[in-house]
């Protein structure tokens, strides 16, 4: 009943409590330093104009540190290029009503072209146009002070703070993922395949190829865990793949080598009826549980 509204609204996946706490504390520290430095160079009014975009960047760097929109290149280039575009629009376009939308529009374009899409960059560009006299007086120095300074502060805090925890690293390229085991469905899928699939889909995905591959492998592991949860292996028992026609087959378990890891648990079987009758073979417990759709009892 509620699935359609939930899909429409796009509820985000939940995260563990520790992740929420870490993101909250990191964000507070980052903005504290940024506010102090910005106030020194532009005063309270200037800080009020530029800090909203830095606040948005803080959310990405501390709440989504592994996202593609949070990478150092996206964060630094997205903000700095947008700051330059904002100043240019203020100086040469004229009316604020025209300069403001052009600043945001061109910042989106340049971020796409340079592969540095960072949503807060739009706010950085906009602040250069509507930030008031304290920002306008800076001219192109706005790119350096306070934008670059704030970026350096945020980047430093993100590096120091996020890397204190094993489950989060910044930049995300420092993150290392453990293998979830051998699974026949995903072992042939490489990072380049995922990268090419994303390119062909023309969808902006806020995750790295490595993250997506890790999620695919985990999903496959969960799938096989569900298979094993409902599968009982009996020595000498008969199992069928449940397929129709010439593809139907029955296997008898004739030997096995136990292992605590189902991916290394070896099953030896003999095909006793249907396709491949008389042939013997072996496979892992994962593979056998996926093949076997039903246990059979031979007729007397």
Domain boundaries along the sequence of the chain: 13-174, 177-230, 238-296
pLDDT at 2: 63
- Residue 128 CA to residue 87 CA, distance in Å, equals 5
Those residues whose C-beta lies under 8 Å from the C-beta of residue 263, and which sit 6 or more positions away, are 181, 182, 183, 284, 285, 286
pLDDT at 196: 78
pLDDT at 177: 62
Those residues whose C-beta lies under 8 Å from the C-beta of residue 137, and which sit 6 or more positions away, are none
pLDDT at 204: 64
Tell me which residue of 160, 221, 201 sits closest to 25, measured CA to CA.
160
pLDDT at 203: 65
pLDDT at 213: 77
Tell me which residue of 63, 42, 197 sits closest to 134, measured CA to CA.
42
Q: Beta strand pairing status for 249-257 and 238-240?
A: antiparallel
pLDDT at 192: 76
Q: What residue ranges of the chain have pLDDT lower than 70? A: 1-3, 6, 13, 46, 177-188, 202-205, 224, 298-300
pLDDT at 205: 66
- Residue 174 CA to residue 167 CA, distance in Å, equals 11
Give the helix ranges, DSSP H, for 64-143.
72-92, 96-113, 120-130, 133-136, 141-142
Give the global pTM. 0.70
Query: Please, what is the average pLDDT of the chain?
Result: 85
pLDDT at 223: 72
pLDDT at 258: 86
């Amino acid at each position: 009943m509620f699935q359609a509204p939930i899909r429409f609204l796009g509820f985000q996946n939940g995260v563990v409590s520790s992740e929420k706490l870490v993101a909250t504390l990191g964000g507070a520290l980052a903005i504290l330093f940024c506010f102090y430095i910005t106030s020194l160079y532009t005063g309270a009014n200037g800080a009020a104009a530029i800090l909203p975009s830095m606040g948005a960047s803080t959310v990405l760097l501390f709440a989504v540190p592994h996202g593609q929109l949070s990478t150092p290149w996206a964060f630094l280039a997205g903000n700095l290029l947008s700051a330059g575009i904002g100043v240019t629009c203020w100086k040469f376009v004229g009316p604020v009503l025209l300069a403001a939308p052009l600043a945001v529009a061109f910042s989106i374009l340049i971020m796409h072209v340079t592969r540095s899409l960072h949503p807060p960059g739009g706010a950085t560009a906009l602040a250069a146009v509507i930030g008031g006299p304290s920002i306008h007086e800076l001219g192109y120095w706005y790119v350096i002070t306070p934008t670059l300074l704030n970026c350096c502060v945020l980047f430093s805090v993100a590096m120091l703070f996020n890397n204190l925890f094993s489950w989060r690293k910044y930049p995300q390229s420092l993150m290392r993922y453990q293998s979830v085991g051998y699974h026949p469905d995903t072992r042939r899928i490489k990072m380049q395949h995922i990268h090419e699939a994303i390119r062909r889909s023309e969808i902006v995905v806020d995750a790295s190829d490595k993250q997506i591959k890790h999620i695919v492998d985990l999903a496959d592991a969960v799938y096989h865990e569900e298979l094993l949860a409902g599968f009982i292996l009996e020595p000498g028992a008969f199992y069928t793949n449940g397929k129709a026609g010439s593809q139907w087959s029955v296997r008898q378990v004739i030997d096995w080598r136990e292992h605590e890891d189902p991916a290394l648990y070896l099953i030896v079987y003999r095909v006793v009826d249907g396709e491949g009758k008389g042939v013997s073979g072996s496979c892992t417990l994962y593979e056998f549980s996926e093949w076997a759709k039903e246990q059979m009892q031979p007729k007397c």
